[in-house]
Every structure is written in C-alpha cells, then in structure tokens.
Amino acid sequence: MQQKNGVRKNYILDTNVLLHDPGCICNFKGNNVILPMVVLEELDSLKSREGLCGCQARQAVRELSKIVEGRSQQSIQAGIPYEKNILFRVEPNGYHNMPEYADELDLKKNDNRILLTTLSIQKKEPETTTVLVSKDICMRLKAEVLGLKSEDYETDRVILDDLYQGYTTTVLSSKEIDKLYESGLKCPKKLSLCPNQFVLIHARDNPDHTAVARFDGEKLVPMRYENRMAWGLTPLNLEQKMAFELMMDDSVKFVSVTGGAGSGKTILATAVALENVVEQRAYRKIVFVRPVVPAGDDIGFLPGDEEEKLRPWMGSFYDAIESLMYRERSRKPRKNCTEDNITVDSLIEHFKNTGVIDMKTFTYMRGRTLSDAIVIVDEAQETTPHIAKLMLTRAGQNSKFIFIGDPTDNQIDNSLVDSRSNGLVYLVERLKDSNLTGHVTLSEVERSPLAKLAERTL
C-alpha cells in the first residue's frame, strides 16, 4: 500500500480496517488517507463497548488523536501532513452529492454511506486514483458493482499454506546422527533453520535409522524431554513430542501451537502448566486466557460476577483438567477412594482459592503484568494482531506464554480477522527468528477415532 512510482493515491478506510489494526494509517506511506465522517461516527459509537471491539475502537481513537494533536494550523478537511509523507484528512459525508444512487443503496446503512462518500471523492478528484480499503468482502463486492477500486487490508496478512510449521526433514549419514547424540551437530549448510525448529533426520545408509533434533540457534541437539510425562500425560505422536519439548523448556518463553480439533493443543498445554506449577513449583500460577468470541459483549449479559460469567467460556480448560484427572486415576488406582471423589470443579475451585489458577478474558488484561506465571491463551486465532501484541506485552519476569488455536477460516468467528490476518499466525511469522520462541503445527487428531474421521472427511 506504499506509494508507487511517486504517484499518490486516495485510500478511503472502512471502519473495520481501523478496528482490525488501530495503527493502520502509518502503513499507507506516501499516500492520502481519508476517513469518511461516518467512520468517525461508528468509532465514537463503538468506543464505549466492552470486549475486543470496544478495546480496538478506543485504541483507534487514540491513534487518531496523535495525528490531530500533532498538527499546527492545518485543517482536518484540507489534510494534515503525517509521518512517512502521509496526508490524512476527514471527508464530510458525500452521499448527498450522489442522488443517482438513492434508490439502489439504503442510506440508513453506514456501509452504503461510506461507499457513496468514496464515489463522491472519486468524482471530485478524477485525476487521483481512489481506493476503498475494507475487510468486508460484501463491501468490496458492492464497491466493484459501483465502479470503485477496492482492496483488502493486507499489511499483516500471512499465506496460511506458507505458515511456518516448526519442523522440517533432511537426510544425513548414520555417522552424523550418532554425532548428534554425542555432542550436537553443526547445522548442515543445505538447511536454513529458525531457532527452536525441529528436524526429522533419516539416515541415507539405513532407512530405519532416524532421529529428531532441535536447532538451538547454533547446532542441532537431541530432544531433552521426549521420555518425560507431565501430570500423567505422555505425548502420543512426534508432533506432540515437539510441542511438549518447547512447552517444558523454560528458556523458550513463547510457544505457539496450531492444529485442528482433537490434535491435543489444550490438554498438552494444561498438563505442562500443572506439572510446572503444582508439581515442580517452577512458576507461581497458571493464567488461562480466552477471547470472548463470537459474543463480543455477550459476557456482560450473563448472570453473576466475572468468574461466573467466564465459566461457559472456559469449558476447554475444565475438560482438559478433567481428562488429566481421569488419566492419573487410571494410571495410579488407589485403595482409598477419597481422592477419587474429587470433582474437576472442586479441584479448580481449590486451585483458584490458593492462587494457583486464574482465568481471564482479554477485556481485563490491559495494564496487568503477568510475572512468575504460565499463561495459556486458547482460541488465539480469534484475536487481531493488535490484541495478540497487547497480550504478549503483559509478560513479566519468569513468565511463559503458550498461544494455541486453529487458524483455519472455519474456526474463526471474529469478523475482524480471517485465516491470514489473525493474531495467532501474525505472532508465529513475526517471532519465529527469536531464540525465545518456538512453534509447532499439529496435524494428527488424537481425541478419538470418530473425531479423526470427522476432521478428515467432513
């Protein structure tokens, strides 16, 4: 969206672009950025809402205030020079100048008012290319019907098929594999690896000789935790072992795990957190965080206090802990069944009362510092890049963040993001080159044969 060949363009921003990325205006280098008046009206209406939408709207308003307060005597309608050679202005609603569309478009709908304002700008400034930028496909299709150029906001988009997987494969000699386990192995020149990326190695001289290594930033090293269990849970496949390795390693401060339903994301993260907090005392507490989507504000209409409102949204964590309790009882049957009568609700209540477990939504994260804690962010694909960054910047001393989710479109209910622009894939791609981070994609469904059948065929 930067200026090309020195030719400025008019970029008209839909409200959803500002909600998706409140700082989006800075990404239109060398161009004119125009907000229709109706966009300001929508932001003004949304800024008082609770939830993700209200949070994004308030941040967008703050970003706009930086532009306006930094001007000298420039008129907002004439345009305010901003950084990166951007000229920002607000356009009065222009639909009154477009009577020929009065019968086609319902002016009670804000989207149609934005479309007609864009048409008015294009009509007044025919020498400048005018482009409507919107995250809404219906909006872009209507713009095309009206003869307008339109684009999706793609500055932070990731091609899902090219998303970093966290592992690769290679072929080496048996001698090199043996050296790996002795003192580590220098990374072969043919491989270009990110820190904490895994390598599945096959021996060229013996097909049955294999190994799994992790790149520590300097050399390939064997996995340290592949034979460990956490709270009675043992990883069931190679991908889970890789994710488990990253979760158990205290030096990896941010772990992202993607995968479909039943791939083991939540139960792995929960087991590791309980092992490290309850058993090993490596951290003080576990913080479970989940975005309230698709309700946005619906949490406010549920009865009870914050904790009672959150209970329906935290079902995945309750299910994970219940499953772990059942596994542990099956593994170590007791003659005295008193402990076996403990329910998952009473156990979690005990953990809450003793400060071991805390459950929050993103709404209550601003201003907090999460120290000495393992923070598990579930359904992270529902977040915008801005909210994902906000969450990660809560990290205090001795904290570890685990983001889990399924970034495919059929698992996203937040209208502000899709499979290529959500906060989870944004973090995976932006952070993969750091020694502090690691990522693994889980492809195998381990929940049950029926769940596996549904995931693969439906």
Q: Which residues make beta-bridge pairs with 12?
A: 34, 132
pLDDT (0 to 100) of residue 386? 86
The fourth-level CATH superfamily of domain 10-151 is 5'-nuclease (3.40.50.1010)
Q: Which residues make beta-bridge pairs with 403?
A: 256, 377
Q: Which residues make beta-bridge pairs with 254?
A: 401, 437
Range list of H helices, 332-422: 344-353, 385-392
Give the strand order in the sheet containing 206-215: 167-172, 198-203, 206-215, 219-222, 185-186
pLDDT digits (tens, 9 = 90+) for 219-262: 999 999 988 999 889 999 999 999 999 999 999 999 999 998 88
Architecture in CATH for domain 232-457: 3-Layer(aba) Sandwich (3.40)
How far is it, in rounded angstroms, from Cα 380 to Cα 308? 22
Rg (CA), the chain: 26
Sequence ranges of the chain with CATH classification 3.40.50.300? 232-457
* Exposed e or buried b per residue across 404-414, where buried means at least 16 C-beta atoms within 10 angstroms of its C-beta: bbbbeeeebeb
Residues 6+ apart with CB under 8 A from 86: 25, 26, 28, 29, 30, 31, 32, 33
What is the pTM for the complete model shown? 0.81
Residue 186, Cβ density class (10 Å: 0-12 exposed, 13-18 middle, ≥19 buried):
exposed
pLDDT digits (tens, 9 = 90+) for 396-412: 999 999 999 999 888 88
- Which amino acid type is present at position 363? T
Give 10-residue mean pLDDT values along the chain (458 residues): 76 95 93 95 91 84 88 81 93 71 77 92 93 94 94 79 90 92 90 95 90 95 93 93 97 96 92 95 94 49 57 78 77 52 84 90 76 95 89 94 92 84 93 96 85 73
pLDDT (0 to 100) of residue 307? 61
pLDDT digits (tens, 9 = 90+) for 161-219: 678 999 999 999 999 999 999 989 999 888 999 999 999 999 998 888 899 999 999 99
Sequence ranges of the chain with CATH classification 3.40.50.1010? 10-151
CA distances from 238 to 227, 264, 443 (A): 12, 12, 10
